[in-house]
Structure 1
């Protein structure tokens, strides 16, 4: 083995399939000066015992893109490296045992067609023909993906490693990273030990691919990577005579998957309550280790398996395996540059889909490192979504006991996590709870999603149809449209940007004009160089040198990181002040009458115009009243010091009694905003969506001077739009839209619904989604016939590029 170098362009930590993929793809981009350090031997953590299932369809277009890339790569890799990858495209079948699951997998089939993945719905009889050993007595439906497959995970990692070496990368085993050095807020080097040897590699790029060690490795550098290992079980039978080549089979209603391999059958499980592992750390000696057997834990899965595949009852067990795999709080892996430390990148936390994910993830991360920006929208797996508190081990231990099982649970819309709750709470949480609030959780924040009526159960009854809170949402929604509603939006992210150069920084970052009078509120986006939307926010100018930004709670860490990343020599302080203030949103045509009862200030259009903020007296306290709206009605967002929040809430509630003020939840906020066609970051607008094609050109001011993305805006204006964000309303008032339903234009699938909800004022489900329009006017595009495909059924839809509710925005200026 050659000695470790003193310098490298990039150091990758971890020699599983993830680290090997990143090394391979960086090398393909011409990075020859790469070092990969593995604490023991390649694949010895989790990769070696992975099941090796290659399922191409994922929950979004870009995750599907990455999975398809992995499948294609693994097919080609064997010829390139002469390492057998075991890749066989045997196809996969998912069967449903309930009507709800059938609806879910049929929705997935519609999504697959939209993403150009080969798929077809098949009958139980066809399942039996393809899988003769299966008991189909209670199977009600199934979906077949013929190009899915299976592989040899360890050999794929070895093939990637060989491919990286062939292009100049250096890989060292039995080398442990002991420290990561930093200088001026960036990575500067990596210290290592190998037996009695030790040294340091100077580098400005470190990539944490350490799998279940990634959290502890990251904590050495103050970086947040919330993940935790769980025990993962499967068994392999002895050889079964006559067992032919079979597709991968998933029976999610029984938490099980089946894979034929070399004449044996594997049965694996994603049980509802998993066993977290490694709370006291992972042994220094861990290398190709197995965990102790727990047959009692696996037995319920096996009993269902014997019923589902009776031959398992007579087949001998060759291997009963238990090994650790890492899981994250939301079942999505981590990719990207850590917000806490420049040059520190992460690719870890694969939630048992590491083999199918790592090929594409390695490609995307390598491109991101190489170009300095993501190749396409990766927000779903972006490390910047992680909240600092989530690295708490007790939180993780409890949460991952649930997330492992959620892989095969029904993926109902609005499904809420049951574990690790009540971490972040508004000052009026108990008030809302006492008034019937049913809470959901985002970024750790407990938020009232809907309010139960008296004597109504305060929990979700999940379904793909109208859930048990549908009528509650309708009442709240119509109260906001016709009367007055009150929302607790304390979970908003709040950032102060202040200092001599605060305006200059924001003018560089934001597309809209920020050089406004103090007290003005500006709706704007922060763009990337492609004109894609990195952040969707409002910024209030508080004074000549102080600004106040409001962002979604889920994107706070991302937005802070984006601002700080672009801070050069400016004299500016950027501070997260989220916990300092609560936000009470008073919305609806009667909101002015309510607030005038408890405040002596002038709330008329002349005294407090739309788009302005000022300090007011309210009750016996003070607040900053922002006249803006996310529901499309007259209203104010009231920013109240946390210590006065309960008092202001009580004053508003009392003042609103005779005006029938209604407490409203986040589901109503969403249904109101979608009627108004307001965009939702992460769904309707992402860093891959051009600001003009998203219909937000009104918030872009190229005439103000230079800003990030300006050239891309001018170029798009010159060349014309390739697609537009369109609002849809279903002609049938019964079906529901959530997300990812297929958009059908003149009989052809052309895209997917980016977000959906029920428009209780408009009387049908409403959705937003992009439609290609290159060379077409809006009128030509809208002249087509549109349908939305839901679980295989196509429903006629009306399309509009202007909001169907209050298109001239007259109500917000009442």
Structure 2
């Protein structure tokens, strides 16, 4: 048998069927879903079926609320019965920090029209009369939380899609996948060959097996997740309405009513990853053996909190596989290195996210870009550092901390280090506290004593043990000279006769002249920001590109997809070939002058320009730019020379008061300059004009990718504008996605927030309504549930004329 479909989806759980359903909603009906067994026979059938809206991420709240709203109408729309109970939920708080987190999440949710409430113990008791409130400070109420039957949900999605013309094949496992010279995919299945233009891997915990069929490794592991269901509880049989879903994150369990009993699901510390050496050939509708000993203390805690739980016996125990990525987020989007092959898998919370997943995946396929920027769900956020050992250790760590508070900075240690520069051991010996970014270890800060080296998590800067040493690092950069090993940039060499013309089409602004450096932005076809590059022209037909370390596979895929086919341009990825030493501060020229014969004067080496120079006898590419806003250079040094050059700079700099500085200091310094952070301050939901980056757009030049759409959007006028704000907050800085208000009206959202040590003030970089973006505009920002005055500042806040950069 042979078959053909425009899109083939592999995997018939809640997520796969949602993709099928949403594709048909967008008019793509020549779609086929195939499953190795019956629909919903993987993780879906044994899922607890909870449907929360809660998240500490702005877009995840949006995405999950889309899901819960869809479920409320799906049954009627497709004429299929679904048991969906909207009961509301209570999240308990034992700690003040938890209540603060709830204040932040409530603010984000309310900005999206979801009426979360932070409530006190008495209100909790009113909503949940069977609870004991010892040591409870309060909670968070979500009126739209609830539970759904996962198998019915899956069948409803499938029926809705089939009614519009899509097809479903059950009991048809895929044995092999290959790509034809035409670009089409050929799937060898039990029932014959299927040809497809596009393939979606929605195979749940078997997604890694599907990825292997196309020569790829997908970083996921299956964790055992247990929950138990009690016998009938007399008190519950008398209720007219179901109890709200109860979560106790400080203890790490959820508890909800299941018929007239209770369902208890802990996330235990003594957790277990399984199938590390392969998945059994047959596991559909199967479970692991019970292991209740691991849950004992959580069961006891839940009984103490809700005593009726302990009055009856256990009716059944479910212990099934749930796929986990290293950070617990799923994979939605293109597969690195392949064309027309997508991931929509590895959902730890698949039922609450299936609706949003289907919508996002369908938009990727149909439009080439989803409405929401869900970079945190793109599998390309992990590159080759995420091997099996890393995934295993990170997934266990994540499961253990599933309900932990989302503090602004936490550097979890499992699976590290993965990628290091040649300076790692030397900086570690100096006491550096490291954080991993894009798999690369970078010094976060340099503790001055043992106490400062201990990670203390808090929302309040005075309680963060790194705050004082970071202040000293910022002072050194501001007053003397600092040095930073900034490894892990994504780096490319672009060369060839067609390099200039090609880059001119890729970048929306002007290319730099020979020996000069500029910022360049690549846009989507919709005219929004895709990526940011530092572009250096080292020859007429040769360019050096830098982008975010985490963007390696993202940018590589995009650049390679747009390369000309005539061989006129060569793209060479060189991210691991060296590191970047940042030398910054008013004494940086004086320092470097002792180590090089190059002329470092403004006339010979102006800002922003680039030269190949010799430092301490080693050739380096020196860029007179930096991310901290002081006189300085980035020295791009081959890895083999890194230690030698660093040691020479340090020794020469000691008489000048040189100091090491790390990522946390750089973050403070860049906020004062208003330098944007990719995927935090600039995403594909904003254009360069929204982001205040119009100086990097050259509309008068020839065509560039996204130009037509950008012209159209700009012609209609921007609704928002990116601005820096000075926040009058005594202890805590604005978190990402804190909400900006004008009186009672929501008028903006924060991208980045933090403390500016040079100016001694709290800063928020935010998008606000354009009519309120003028310097001096008085607004408020809600931080941890409380409002604080904020004033729009002139950009940049620090050194507004860039006199220190040009010194």
Q: What range is the shorter-chain TM-score in? A: over 0.9
SS at structure 2 position matched to 1:204: strand
Query: Shift in Å at residue 455 of structure 1?
Result: 4.1
Q: What is the CA deviation profile of residues 382-423 of structure 1, one whole-angstrom value per residue up to 9, with x for unaligned ones?
A: 222121331x22221111111123320121121122211011
Q: What is the CA deviation profile of residues 20-47 of structure 1, one whole-angstrom value per residue up to 9, with x for unaligned ones?
A: 0001111122222111110111111100
Quote the residue 2:65 is aligned against: 68
SS at structure 2 position matched to 1:595: helix
Quote the residue 2:799 is aligned against: 806
Decide whether aligned partners of structure 1 residues 305 and 13 sit closer, same or farther in structure 2, where only a CA change above 3 A counts. Answer: same
Quote the residue 1:260 is aligned against: 257
Corresponding position: 1:356 with 2:349: no
Quote the residue 1:680 is aligned against: 677
Corresponding position: 1:654 with 2:651: yes
Q: Supply the distance in 1 between the matched residues of 2:496 and 2:215 (Cα, whole angstroms).
A: 26
Quote the residue 1:558 is aligned against: 554
Q: Supply the distance in 1 between the matched residues of 2:16 and 2:230 (Cα, whole angstroms).
A: 31
Quote the residue 2:211 is aligned against: 218
Corresponding position: 1:344 with 2:341: yes
Quote the residue 2:594 is aligned against: 597
Indicate if the aligned counterparts of 2:418 and 2:441 stay in contact, CA closer than 8 A: yes
Unpaired segments ≥5 residues, structure 1: none
Q: What is the CA deviation profile of residues 160-190 of structure 1, one whole-angstrom value per residue up to 9, with x for unaligned ones?
A: 0111111111111111111111145945221
Quote the residue 1:372 is aligned against: 368
Corresponding position: 1:170 with 2:167: yes
Corresponding position: 1:201 with 2:194: yes
Q: Supply the distance in 1 between the matched residues of 2:110 and 2:121 (Cα, whole angstroms).
A: 21
Quote the residue 1:469 is aligned against: 466
Q: Supply the distance in 2 between the matched residues of 1:288 and 1:717 (Cα, whole angstroms).
A: 53
Indicate if the aligned counterparts of 2:735 and 2:783 stay in contact, CA closer than 8 A: no
Quote the residue 1:135 is aligned against: 132
Corresponding position: 1:506 with 2:503: yes
Q: What is the CA deviation profile of residues 93-113 of structure 1, one whole-angstrom value per residue up to 9, with x for unaligned ones?
A: 111011111111122112212
Query: Shift in Å at residue 218 of structure 1?
Result: 0.6
Quote the residue 2:41 is aligned against: 44
Q: Supply the distance in 1 between the matched residues of 2:544 and 2:777 (Cα, whole angstroms).
A: 43
Matched ranges for 1:559-574 at <5 A? 559-571=555-567, 572-574=569-571
Counterpart pick for 2:393 among 398, 404, 407:
398
Quote the residue 2:225 is aligned against: 232
Query: Shift in Å at residue 295 of structure 1?
Result: 1.4
Quote the residue 1:694 is aligned against: 691
SS at structure 2 position matched to 1:242: helix
Query: Shift in Å at residue 48 of structure 1?
Result: 0.6
Q: Which 4+ stretches in 1 moved above 6 angstroms?
A: none
Deviates more, 1:433-442 or 1:372-381: 372-381
Corresponding position: 1:443 with 2:443: no
* TM-score w.r.t. length of structure 1: 0.96
SS at structure 2 position matched to 1:137: coil
Deviates more, 1:764-773 or 1:801-810: 801-810
Counterpart pick for 2:295 among 294, 298, 303:
298
Indicate if the aligned counterparts of 2:589 and 2:600 stay in contact, CA closer than 8 A: yes
Corresponding position: 1:427 with 2:422: yes
Query: Shift in Å at residue 555 of structure 1?
Result: 1.1
Unpaired segments ≥5 residues, structure 2: none
Matched ranges for 1:449-598 at <5 A? 449-466=444-461, 467-514=464-511, 516-571=512-567, 572-598=569-595
Decide whether aligned partners of structure 1 residues 738 and 480 sit closer, same or farther in structure 2, where only a CA change above 3 A counts. Answer: farther
Corresponding position: 1:249 with 2:223: no
Indicate if the aligned counterparts of 1:737 and 1:758 stay in contact, CA closer than 8 A: no
Quote the residue 2:18 is aligned against: 21
Corresponding position: 1:793 with 2:790: no
Q: Supply the distance in 2 between the matched residues of 1:574 and 1:797 (Cα, whole angstroms).
A: 45
Indicate if the aligned counterparts of 1:186 and 1:344 stay in contact, CA closer than 8 A: no
Indicate if the aligned counterparts of 1:223 and 1:341 stay in contact, CA closer than 8 A: no
Query: Shift in Å at residue 677 of structure 1?
Result: 0.7
Counterpart pick for 2:610 among 610, 613, 616:
613
Indicate if the aligned counterparts of 1:729 and 1:798 stay in contact, CA closer than 8 A: yes
Indicate if the aligned counterparts of 1:118 and 1:146 stay in contact, CA closer than 8 A: yes
Corresponding position: 1:105 with 2:98: no
Deviates more, 1:264-273 or 1:338-347: 264-273
* TM-score w.r.t. length of structure 2: 0.97
Decide whether aligned partners of structure 1 residues 215 and 805 sit closer, same or farther in structure 2, where only a CA change above 3 A counts. Answer: same
Size of the aligned set, in residue pairs, is: 800
Corresponding position: 1:324 with 2:321: yes
Indicate if the aligned counterparts of 2:734 and 2:764 stay in contact, CA closer than 8 A: yes
Q: What is the CA deviation profile of residues 264-301 of structure 1, one whole-angstrom value per residue up to 9, with x for unaligned ones?
A: 10110122352111112111111111101111111121
SS at structure 1 position matched to 2:157: helix
Q: Supply the distance in 2 between the matched residues of 1:172 and 1:367 (Cα, whole angstroms).
A: 23
Quote the residue 2:310 is aligned against: 313
Matched ranges for 1:282-297 at <5 A? 282-297=279-294
Q: What is the CA deviation profile of residues 691-720 of structure 1, one whole-angstrom value per residue up to 9, with x for unaligned ones?
A: 111010111112221101222333344333
